Amino acid sequence: MSYQFMTVGTLNQYLSLYEGRLKEPSCLPLALEDLCSGWSTDTFKQILVKISLNGKIAIPCVFNQYNELAVFSNKANTLQEIFKLFDTRALSRIDSLELISTIAMICSGPLDKKIENCFFAFGLNEDCTITKEEMQLFLDSLFRGTAKIALIKSDTFYPRNPNKRLASHEIARIVNSIFSGQNKLLSADEFCQWLLREQGPLNKFFNLFVRRFQQCQEANRELNIARLRIIPFIKTIIYSDILQKANVQLGFEETKQAAKTKK
């Protein structure tokens, strides 16, 4: 578990730590693959609605123990691993918005739906709109959360140096650029349109991580499906072998009995 902090000055520098270095074939920890296996953006939206009572209450800032994550899954062992993965400061609590931001990027679906889910979680309104301050918090949470889950080639099961964050002044610069200096509510659709026009480091960030995270989750799902398909085949072979041996043994016993009868 890492306690060292690393503040990265620019988004380009942040990207340089990962570009061409993401772990193959998967850059996600096993627990996240297991948690999000098969999840779509619609699946995750239902979870967010449940946590917030459809936007009526704020999402908790922190989760204090792994069983508070039961709203995400009933896989206790997986939730323990998820909690350990995000508790990089050994404080026995994790930042819920880091977790939500990163899970949103792992789920299968188009980027605009992933962004909508994040904007719903941070703005807590059906319009999926957020303020400048909420946008700053969203990006800060996303950059911190990404560093806690993205595996590079030298990592094993967990990132070796997960406590990276983008400098607050760089995030503020990006947010001011997105909002064009105005104080207004920004919709998920407007942000996605800005991303397409911008074609800069933030666009590159989403293309790099979102694409790879979703690919890893979907590949894990296909692997699990393949395993489920092969299990009946393996069972059939095992049962057939057992039955064959039983028949051979039965035949042997019958032959012995017949021989005794003749005597």
Instruction: List the one residue out of 101, 130, 124, 107 whose CA is nearest residue 54.
Output: 124
> pLDDT tier at 70 (50, 70, 90 boundaries)?
very high
Mean pLDDT calculated for residue range 78-84: 97
Asked whether residue 229 carries a pLDDT value surpassing 60, the answer given is no
Question: Would you mind telling me the total number of residues written for the chain in this entry?
Answer: 263
Q: What is the pLDDT of residues 82-127, one digit of tens each?
A: 999 999 999 999 999 999 999 999 999 999 999 999 999 999 888 8
- Cβ atoms of 85 and 18 within 8 Å: the answer is no
Q: What is the pLDDT of residues 124-143, one digit of tens each?
A: 888 899 999 999 999 999 99
Per the DSSP assignment, residues forming a β-bridge with 209 are none
> pLDDT tier at 237 (50, 70, 90 boundaries)?
low
d(CA 103, CA 42): 12
Predicted pLDDT at 113: 96
Predicted pLDDT at 130: 96
Asked whether residue 3 carries a pLDDT value surpassing 80, the answer given is no
Distance linking the first and last C-alpha atoms of the chain: 76
Asked whether residue 230 carries a pLDDT value surpassing 70, the answer given is no
Mean pLDDT calculated for residue range 239-261: 59
Q: Taking the domains of the chain in order of start, what are their residue ranges?
A: 6-226
Asked whether residue 263 carries a pLDDT value surpassing 70, the answer given is no
Give me the DSSP letters along 73-85. -S-HHHHHHHHHH
Q: What is the pLDDT of residues 158-190, one digit of tens each?
A: 999 999 999 999 999 999 999 987 878 999 999
Mean pLDDT calculated for residue range 59-74: 94
Asked whether residue 150 carries a pLDDT value surpassing 90, the answer given is yes
Predicted pLDDT at 115: 97
Q: Alpha helix locations (H) across 7-110?
A: 11-16, 30-36, 41-52, 76-86, 96-106
- Cβ atoms of 188 and 112 within 8 Å: the answer is yes
Predicted pLDDT at 193: 94
Predicted pLDDT at 181: 75
Q: What is the pLDDT of residues 8-61, one digit of tens each?
A: 999 999 999 999 999 999 999 999 999 998 899 999 999 999 999 988 898 999
Asked whether residue 242 carries a pLDDT value surpassing 90, the answer given is no
